[in-house]
A and B are shown apart, each in its own frame.
Chain A
Amino acid sequence: MQLESKVPAGSIEEKWDNHRFDVRLVNPANKRKYEIIVVGTGLAGASAAATLAQLGYNVNVFTYHDSARRAHSIAAQGGINAAKNYQNDGDSIYRLFYDTVKGGDYRSREANVYRLAQVSVEIIDQATAQGVPFAREYGGLLDNRSFGGAQVSRTFYARGQTGQQLLLGAYQALEQQVHRGPVQLHTRAEMLDLVVHDGRAVGIIARDLVTGEITRHSAHAVVLATGGYSNVFFLSTNAKASNASAIWRAHRRGALFANPCFTQIHPTCIPPSDEFQSKLTLMSESLRNDGRIWVPQEAGERRPANDIPAAERDYFLERRYPAFGNLVPRDVASRTAKKVVDQNRGVGPLENGVYLDFHDAIARLGRDTIEARYGNLFEIYERITDEDPYRVPMRIYPAPHYTMGGLWVDYNLESTIPGLYVIGEANFSDHGANRLGASALMQGLADGYFVLPYTIGDYLADYLSTDPVGTDEPAFADTEAEVRTQIDRLLSVKGTRTVDWFHRELGKLVWDFCGMERSAEGLEQAMSEIPSLKEEFWKDVRILGSNESLNQSLEKAGRVADYFDLAELMCRDALHRDESCGAHFRVEYQSGEGEAMRRDDDYSYVAAWEYTGDAADPRLHREELDFEYVQLAQRSYK
């Protein structure tokens, strides 16, 4: 298989314009003859479905939630980047493009990133017109803040609820199309497999989560907008139901999976308080603008934070990175925190965190200012920990948060299965090996509002006046039979351990060996342990009840079953990538000072894995990355 990125010709500024002119259009009167399936209603899915319906297509939308508004995009706090340069501080499309490629440690496709920066400005216009209540200056114009180490203020925000407000904008646009008619919204319906006929994606098999009914749905094209796979770690900041099954099952049907080992660990989350912890809560990294991060100098220090004198504290980020201090990128901040905790200098009852201290900021700016900036975050923290961060330093620790890896797509966002498009976090995306803060919302909406609705037309044009493949075709029957077999198999194990037990065990393995730091030895160990855990799962998992009812254990079991193979592929990818880059840190590849060392000559490519039927033997395909505009350099934040 030859991977063709289909990047258009021309200078980087002209590529998207040229492409929009070159792709074939579907005549407005013909659009209503097409059926499109969109799976997922987060920012990418809702914005794509609404836009496709506005254009005139018929869209069937699937979500496992009770309402399209619940997708996990809703939990994004900090903001959304756009190269508006409203602050007149030197931002431009080119600078956002450059920062994103550099922040991703030079493992993304230049042309895609440039397009992302181009359409970023339109997203803000679109969202504002929809009524997204972005923060404003006293003159009534939009406010911006700097975010995650960017040197310009290009982040738009709606208090600490930017994701919520952007999602509600897209959800409302979607519901309007439901009301008008072109969108059929299937709630509480989970996609369980992709149907491929003659090498093309032609539909999906879905399960009604209330009745257990399994149904077939066909369309001219299928769009997956099903998010990332951080929940493979069990403990992550993702919502409990977020899962990889849609993309994993598409992978098993032939879609290549790119860069699975690129998983981002967010530095500022609340550390777990006990072994029953069900998920981790993120604290927006805007907190690092004013909070100072420290641990005690001495290992085993037991005094309360406020009793430790300044001279016995180690402000380790400020010490190691004087230029960027507490604002170093996410991967650097996370790894350094792990280092000090591993030195037994962790704080809190389980000694599993570092302090994020606002004492100096409150002394300098006053409590009112801090409250205005971070009040809602302090409140969330207080609810969870029962500690008052105005008086006692917060405790934070890194946690899995976002996955840059995902299904491989070309410039048109089409996967290696013709007719299967993948958008938002579910694709391998524009973020390379590391995503910058406030860029996830930007990418989800760019794909959904402004990219996919253009590019999908070029594929559909070939199928004018053809009906979607009938659901009575063998491809549908066979796929449905496989889905039913898997469900029956899960229910018939009748073992002794809960689904969550297996998920927790798997999560620990992946976190220990394929988390913030990876080594060849550790990865090999994980790859030997994961298959045996999987085997045990299929022998000993206990799922009560039947398929024909609302059965949350059965839902979870199907998702966890897919995580075993995905986890193994993550480890394999991490092992094969003999370099450190972005979020992927291999202990063997670091400088004397412990900084990540890339190996551009050997690894400047996208690793796209093909499923061969045997989880232990996937086939690697490479998409070489050419950098015409951005100069490769070793990142330095000293």
Chain B
Amino acid sequence: MAAQILFFVLATVAIAGALGMLISRNPVNSALWLILNLFCVAGLYLTMNAEFIAVVQVLVYAGAIMVLFLFVIMLLNLAELPNLKRLEWRRVIAFVLGMGLLAMLSFVVASSLDVLPVPQSLEMAAANGSASSLAKALFVEFVLPFEVIGILLLAATIGAVMLSKRKPV
């Protein structure tokens, strides 16, 4: 029962955070709402006993990526975008497409209720999400992808520096 209540509270706050991100006009407010959402998703990982992923979520997403976003927003010193006078068809189409996508995804979830896997016991789930079992998989079975992702991050860092460097005139 407690897990159920925890899920509903976290899910409600996560959806509220996403909604706040969508409708707030100031980009800084958007970023702060998104951070709230990311923390709630980290809490949801904890309710599933995936502690390592929850910690990485807070460190990488809420810590590193969102700080980068806030840095860029404040670096550019943006004014709010002006309102458009005419009705934008883009927005109507976006809403219709979004509702279609939501209908499709919920149809898939609802129609696959009887083929979903039976949840395993709590102890097994806790053992599955622990840092030691993840490390075993990451450094034994998936060593090559791990190294490749390191090279990808290095390339991204160099690319970001190259792209944002001021060109010599």
Real complex partners, A and B?
Answer: no
